[in-house]
Amino acid sequence: MEQFLLLSEGELTLKGHNRRFFENVLIDNITECLSKHNLSIKREKRGRLYIKLDNSINVNVLIDSLSKIPGLKVIYQGYKIKRDFDIALNVIVNLLKNAKSFKIQASRVDKNFEPNSLEINKLLGQKVLDNMNSIKVDIKNPEIIVFVEVFSDHFKVYSRIKNALGGLPYGSSGKAICLLSTGIDSPVAAFLMLKRGVEIIPLYFHTPPYTGNNALEKVKNLVRNLLKFTVQRIKLYIVNYTEIQLSIKKNIPEKYWTIVSRRFMGRIAEDIATIEKARAIVTGESLGQVASQTISNLAAIDKVFNIPVFRPLIGMDKEEIVKIAQHIDTYDISIRPGIDCCTLFSPKHPETKAKYYEFIDSEKEILKYLRNNYSFVTEVIK
């Protein structure tokens, strides 16, 4: 008897001619995850991936890490066994532990095998009922479906053990620079893009000594947390933003501090996109959440960009965002002390309808002196 996991690909089945490309990226990512466990993966027909397990493995830990790999839809667990209905029954009873209802769904790859699929359903279904108390067959809405597949020299018997993340394989949609602060929103934005297959390069604007080391540590922790979805390492950019921030405070009307600051962040993000050959920018902005996130203000911020800006949270309520943050375990890190923008740089009465002419000339002055005058470091988080 051989224990296995079977993985089904999510949307990849919709990819037509490009499917092979997406599948290869997915297999690379899974292989990296499996290498920690000394296991390997085999491509099967119908977009399924097969992992042979051995007894030394902690299956639950493995299932948990696989369930966080973007591009996978469902994880099944089961056994490859001899073509023997009594052995099949033992395995099925094990898979149905604690279940209230079930159905057997047999299929034959070996069409010469007797009995046929419908008869196998009935035969094994009856055996289960004879052997397990308080379980019933439910054809329409079973709690567990047990799949029995008949091959020329073995049966595969398995059932769904966990839904995986869905989405697209990490890295299959290209790269984006993600403006990551210490708040609740931007890590969620990064996660949502990462789930759509985007390789994330986080960028944090640090303003020492006004923002301290605890803010920087928070950002690193947030990035570390995103690692579990990507398998690979993540390169974090940290820009020293103090001089620009001080210059904005000195030269720009107070109500425009945040907008002009976001415009500088945008320009620098695009510089880094060029270095990294990234094709888009991601932010955690959500319409109307704070004064800088009105349509007029976002429009004023957008003027500095030459590449697309993705704002995956734009239509979400704070509650919805918090729910995702809790689900991906970034919420508890985000609410720790350590702010990313000190009140010193936040206007008391921010403008909600940005008017260019009121800041554009003074902004040009800062641009002249500081456009290319910032420094950054990178750190690879593993």
Binding site for ligand ATP (CB under 6 A): 179-181, 183-186, 203-205, 265, 283-285, 289-290, 292, 340-341
CA–CA separation, 47 and 338 (whole Å): 45
Comparing CB distances to Mg ion, the nearer of 25 and 179 is 179
Comparing CB distances to Mg ion, the nearer of 230 and 258 is 258
End-to-end CA distance of the chain: 37
CA atoms within 13 A on the CB side of 217: 7
For the bound state, the minimum distance from the C-beta of residue 256 to Mg ion, rounded and expressed in Å, comes to 18
For the bound state, the minimum distance from the C-beta of residue 68 to ligand ATP, rounded and expressed in Å, comes to 22
Label residue 39 exposed, middle or buried (CB < 10 Å: 0-12, 13-18, 19+).
middle
According to the binding rule CB under 5 A, does residue 202 interact with Mg ion?
Answer: no
> How many residues touch Mg ion (CB under 5 A)?
2
Question: Residue 5: which of 73, 81, 59 has the closest Cα?
Answer: 59
Which of 71, 183, 266, 350 is close enough to bind Mg ion by CB under 5 A? 183
CB within 8 A of 147, min separation 6: which ones? 76, 78, 105, 106, 107, 156, 157, 158, 159
**Which listed range, 66-74, 132-140, 177-185, 292-300, lies at the site for Mg ion (CB under 5 A)?**
177-185
Which H or E element spans position 175?
A: strand 175-179
Q: What angle do CA 220, 238, 373 make, to 5 degrees?
A: 170
For the bound state, the minimum distance from the C-beta of residue 181 to Mg ion, rounded and expressed in Å, comes to 4
Comparing CB distances to ligand ATP, the nearer of 148 and 188 is 188
**What's phi and psi for 178, nearest 5 deg?**
-110, 115
According to the binding rule CB under 5 A, does residue 258 interact with Mg ion?
Answer: no
For the bound state, the minimum distance from the C-beta of residue 89 to ligand ATP, rounded and expressed in Å, comes to 54
Question: Residue 128: which of 145, 141, 115 has the closest Cα?
Answer: 145
Which of 181, 258, 261, 292 is close enough to bind Mg ion by CB under 5 A? 181
For the bound state, the minimum distance from the C-beta of residue 248 to ligand ATP, rounded and expressed in Å, comes to 13
Residue 292 Cα to chain centre, angstroms? 27
Number of residues that make up the chain = 382
Given Mg ion, ligand ATP, none, residue 121, with its beta carbon under 5 to 8 Å by kind, binds none
Comparing CB distances to ligand ATP, the nearer of 6 and 184 is 184
Comparing CB distances to ligand ATP, the nearer of 164 and 176 is 176
Comparing CB distances to Mg ion, the nearer of 183 and 347 is 183
According to the binding rule CB under 5 A, does residue 283 interact with Mg ion?
Answer: no
- DSSP type of residue 292: G
According to the binding rule CB under 5 A, does residue 187 interact with Mg ion?
Answer: no
Comparing CB distances to ligand ATP, the nearer of 106 and 203 is 203
Comparing CB distances to ligand ATP, the nearer of 66 and 184 is 184
For the bound state, the minimum distance from the C-beta of residue 189 to ligand ATP, rounded and expressed in Å, comes to 6
CA–CA separation, 108 and 232 (whole Å): 39
For the bound state, the minimum distance from the C-beta of residue 70 to ligand ATP, rounded and expressed in Å, comes to 20
For the bound state, the minimum distance from the C-beta of residue 185 to Mg ion, rounded and expressed in Å, comes to 7
CB within 8 A of 172, min separation 6: which ones? 21, 22, 25, 26, 71, 197
Question: Residue 303: which of 243, 259, 237 has the closest Cα?
Answer: 259
Given ligand ATP, Mg ion, none, residue 290, with its beta carbon under 5 to 8 Å by kind, binds ligand ATP
Contact at 8 Å (CB) between 180 and 239?
A: no
Given ligand ATP, Mg ion, none, residue 23, with its beta carbon under 5 to 8 Å by kind, binds none
What are the residues binding Mg ion (CB under 5 A)? 181, 183
